[in-house]
Amino acid sequence: MDNKYATIPQAGKSNVIQMGVRPIQLWSLVFPKENLNEVLNTVANPLPRSFMQENAMKVFRGLLHAKKVPEWDPATTPKRLLFHEAVEFTPIGIKEDATHPEGGHEML
């Protein structure tokens, strides 16, 4: 993948901008339910999302049949050290394992 250039008219002049194509990846993170707050505090960004970002997350949650990520308190929750330079984690939603109606065992 290489960079592309586009001409954009702006204020009566033509400006050339450089565009780069970068891949995005969708990963599933599996962990015990009782560690939810600690996992969120480790990988999630607690900053508020813009209107457009939140709408995009709603679409992804619907496609993945996931629930909204619950709120957590970063100040009172433990956090693990995780090296992720130049990588942003954006949690889309929470999806619990299906359980068998008889006995409550997980269905794999």
Measured between alpha carbons, how far is 108 from 100 in angstroms, rounded to an integer?
10
82 compared with 36, residue with greater pLDDT: 36
pLDDT in tens, 60-104: 899 989 998 888 887 888 887 777 777 778 888 888 877 767 766
Q: Residue 62: phi, psi to the nearest 5?
A: -65, -40
Structure tokens at 22: 């970068």
pLDDT at 1 over 70: no
Domains of the chain, by residue range, sit at 23-108
